[in-house]
Amino acid sequence: MLKNIRLLSSILLSVIAVAALLPATANMSQSANENALTAQEKAQGWILLFDGRTFAGWRGLGYDRVPAEHWIIENGAIKKVPTKDVPLQKDGQPLQGGDLLTIEEFEDFELAFEWKISPGGNSGVKYNVSEEMSTANPPSHTALGFEFQVLDDDKHPDAKNGPNRTAGALYDLIGPRNKTLKPVGEYNTARIVFMGKHGEHWLNGVKVLEFDLDTPAFAELMAKSKYKDIPRFAEKRKGHIVLQDHTDAVWYRNIKIRVRKK
């Protein structure tokens, strides 16, 4: 009888050990597919902007380094450290941070990425960014450029200021339509198309807005926006892609770009 009990116990322990390995294997398989390109994507000309492990290809706007106290890599994603968790200087103020930008500049492109926001969080992905223009207009480590708004629409007060301040918007210019957001804490997929004078924002597989530069309609939007007094803001240029340092925790992964021909 004792021998049978020991045998059953041994079998049960073996089953538990195998079961415990299954989730780990699944997680490894999922991680292997993140921050990587498929053979088809490579053939289509996509390139990775983030390898999932390092900040290669990135630096702080106005810096020759990454503001490491504000930006870290966590579970295969670039994470903005919330300001409340940033180390303090001797005077008790948080160490200086700033936006994170691609070292390379892009002109006509399709950008894809995934993002998730913290409860009540606010961030954004900017493009058509001139570092020279940005550093010339204070604060010197904050990018000036078109912005794909990243937001917790339910809990962040900026969403109450109008559709053009909500997730997926062309910030302060155009609000998104027909959008569906994932619950806070889950990843959304996003795409920005910027070809010639034409731009598009996509959210979770749906085109939520589009615009055309050098049109009366866009000029009218600019005249009502916070950017109206910034010379040359809306001019098309070869510019950086930027992740915004905006107080709250946010995560970005699977960041890739395809340079398009006109």
| Beta bridge partners of residue 73, listed in sequence order | 78
Q: Which CATH number fits domain 37-259: 2.60.120.560, 3.40.640.10, 2.120.10.30, 3.40.930.10?
A: 2.60.120.560
Segment 28-61, tens digit of pLDDT = 333 568 999 999 999 999 999 999 999 999 999 9
Go through 60-88 and write b for each residue having 16 or more CB atoms within 10 A of its CB, e for each that does not.
Answer: bbbeeebbebbbebeebbbbbbeeeebee
> Residue 89: its pLDDT value, please?
77
Quote the percentage of the chain above a pLDDT of 70. 87
pLDDT of residue 32: 64
Domain ranges of the chain: 1-33, 37-259
pTM of the full structure: 0.86
Mean pLDDT of the chain: 89
Q: What is the mean pLDDT for each group of 10 consecutive residues in the chain (262 residues)?
A: 48 40 34 87 97 98 94 97 86 81 98 98 98 92 97 97 98 98 97 98 98 97 96 96 96 96 70
Predicted confidence at residue 217, as pLDDT, reads 97
- Please tell me the predicted confidence (pLDDT) of residue 151: 98
**Residues 192-231: pLDDT tens digits?**
999 999 999 999 999 999 999 999 999 999 999 999 999 9
Dihedral (Cα; 70, 71, 75, 77), 10-degree rounding:
130
pLDDT in the model for residue 15: 38
